[in-house]
């Protein structure tokens, strides 16, 4: 059974790679959310480079009046700096590919450990993966909404993206994991 779980996980990883290539590579889904253009980018970049040297998440608040509430309607900006430059993109892709294979393999193993009632129904096996997508959406994407985070619409789109992705992974993995097969 361990071979079937690994094979199911690898198939799930292939789904993630294809999904990512189509949605992000061809249609630019993530870049349309995460890489919006900044007017006067060169000037903003110079100010950020001069003022932010250490990796981290930074928040830029409006000037706060003394002994008064924060000014209404003034934006709060979030700035992320990982400390990684373009030269490290290749190494990061290798790490992402590893995650793309490990995550669905772990999920396939978890599915193989569930009850026979779940394993005997293709629909329930797929719902198992939908639940994983919901968890990712809730604890990752929707929790990124708010001050210096994503706007609500973008957070909801990213959450929907994860739910759909894990549903498609579930369709493939559920097809491969059969009842009575446990990876002990």
Q: Which domain holds residue 13?
A: 2-37+85-176
CB hemisphere CA count around 130 (13 angstroms) = 7
Which H helix or E strand runs over 182?
Answer: none
pLDDT at 1: 67
User: Can you give the pLDDT at residue 184?
Assistant: 52
Given this model, what pLDDT does residue 73 score?
Answer: 83
- Could you tell me where the DSSP H helices lie in the chain? 2-20, 29-34, 41-51, 89-112, 116-119, 122-136, 152-176
Structural domains of the chain, count: 1
What is the residue-level pLDDT of the chain in tens, covering all 184 positions? 688 899 999 999 999 999 999 999 899 998 899 888 899 999 999 999 999 989 998 988 888 878 888 778 888 888 888 888 777 777 777 888 888 899 999 999 999 999 899 999 999 999 999 999 999 889 988 888 888 788 999 999 999 999 999 999 999 999 998 775 555 5
In-domain check, residue 74: no
User: Is residue 110 a part of any domain in this protein?
Assistant: yes
161 domain-assigned:
yes
* Rounded Cα gap, residues 112 and 10, in angstroms: 15
3-class state of residue 147 by DSSP:
coil
pTM equals 0.80
Residue 177 tokens, joined: 């994991």
């Amino acid at each position: 059974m361990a071979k079937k779980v690994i094979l199911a996980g690898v198939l799930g990883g292939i789904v993630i790679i294809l999904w990512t290539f189509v949605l992000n590579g061809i249609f630019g889904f993530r870049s349309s959310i995460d890489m919006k253009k900044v007017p006067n980018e060169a000037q903003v970049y110079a100010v950020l480079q001069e003022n932010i040297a250490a990796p981290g998440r930074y928040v830029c608040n409006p000037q706060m009046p003394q002994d008064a509430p924060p000014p209404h309607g003034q934006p709060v900006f979030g700035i992320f700096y990982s400390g990684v430059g373009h030269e490290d993109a290749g190494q990061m892709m290798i790490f992402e590919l590893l995650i793309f294979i490990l995550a669905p393999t772990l999920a396939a193993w978890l599915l193989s450990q569930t009850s026979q009632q779940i394993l005997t129904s293709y629909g329930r096996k797929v719902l198992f993966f939908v639940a994983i997508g919901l968890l990712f959406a809730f604890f990752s994407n929707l929790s990124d909404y708010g001050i210096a985070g994503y706007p609500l619409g973008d957070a909801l789109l990213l959450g929907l993206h994860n739910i759909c992705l894990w549903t498609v992974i579930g369709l493939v993995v559920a097809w491969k994991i059969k009842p009575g097969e446990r990876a002990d």
